[in-house]
Amino acid sequence: MLLVRYIPCLLLKDNGLVKTVNFKNPKYVGDPINTVRIFNEKEVDELIFLDIEATPKNREPNYKLLGEIANECFMPLAYGGGIKTFEQAQKIYNIGIEKVAINSALHSNLNLITQISEVYGSQAVIGVIDVKKNFFGKSQVVSNSANDKHKYTIEEWVKKLEEAGVGEILITSVDNEGTWSGLDIELIKQVTSISKVPVIAHGGAGNVQHLISGIKEGGANAIAMGSMVVYQKKDFGVLINFPDKKLLV
């Protein structure tokens, strides 16, 4: 049985950490290096960093900053944002980051997953799926900070990512992200019911019960948290924290 993981998911912008709501209005929450040090002390199992500017601005990952983060970090790291080529992924692995998380580039080049997994193993690649409801309430696969919409159904895209060789899927509800309203359990179940690889659920967690529901009701193998680990509580100030692991059982 896979170990259940609760993973801080931290957003990078202009060398700092920010937090968004529905992928919009990023607010500065702190320095990434200091934040990593706090999570080291709290013995977090894993961290995910996502650069929210790299793809929209068509630039490569910030290798210098990632190197500083990796040198400071005691736990496994995943990074996503601006990765378009095998060579870029290779640079990230060489820095010391264990996993790459890829979204936008896969919609034009699914073979990128295959290239990476053949060299580094499928466990080193996370396929990111962002989902947003359209005007009619229908869920759509999106990318590029939810600016690009895609024709595939969620089920079709999950299968394509798995066939290409991903080791995990990170599913994010854009509509719930940053709202504290709870995870989209139906969306999570939609993915976990067909996925053959571990699923990380993300978007909307606001309390410990939300986390537990994502695992027990949604069937996720891991939960990625944003607001919960960078704010004291909804509409309150910044406080880098992590839930007491005794409460997560």
Quick one: pLDDT at residue 73? Answer: 95
Distance, in Å, from the CA atom of 221 to the CA atom of 169, rounded to the nearest integer, reads 10
Rg of the chain over all Cα atoms, to the nearest angstrom:
16
What is the rounded (10 degree) CA torsion for 195, 198, 202, 206? 120
CB atoms under 10 Å from CB of 3, counted, come to: 8
Domain span at 159: 5-248
Inter-residue contact 81 to 51 (CB < 8 Å)? yes
What residue spans of the chain are helical by DSSP H?
32-41, 63-72, 86-95, 111-120, 154-164, 185-192, 208-216, 227-230
Mean pLDDT, the chain cut into blocks of 10 residues (249 residues total) = 87 96 95 96 94 95 97 96 98 98 97 97 98 92 95 96 98 97 98 97 97 97 96 86 82
Quick one: pLDDT at residue 244? Answer: 82
Number of domains in the chain: 1
Distance, in Å, from the CA atom of 164 to the CA atom of 211, rounded to the nearest integer, reads 29
Distances (CA, A) of 90 to 60, 100, 120, 215: 13, 10, 9, 32
Distance, in Å, from the CA atom of 33 to the CA atom of 46, rounded to the nearest integer, reads 15
Quick one: pLDDT at residue 201? Answer: 98
Q: Longest C-alpha distance within the chain, in Å? A: 46
Q: Which residues of 118-149 are buried (b: 16+ CB within 10 A; e: fewer)?
A: eebebebbbbbbbbbeeeeeebbbbbebbeee
SS3 224: strand
Quick one: pLDDT at residue 135? Answer: 87
Output the domain CATH number for residue 75: 3.20.20.70
- Both tokens of 9, joined, read 């998911």
SS3 194: coil
Quick one: pLDDT at residue 30? Answer: 94
Which helix (H) or strand (E) segment is 47 a member of?
strand 47-51
> Can 130 be counted among the known catalytic residues?
yes
- Our separate counts of H helices and E strands in the chain read 8, 12
Inter-residue contact 47 to 8 (CB < 8 Å)? yes
Q: Which of 45, 51, 130, 175 is catalytic?
A: 130
Q: End-to-end distance of the chain based on CA atoms, in angstroms?
A: 15
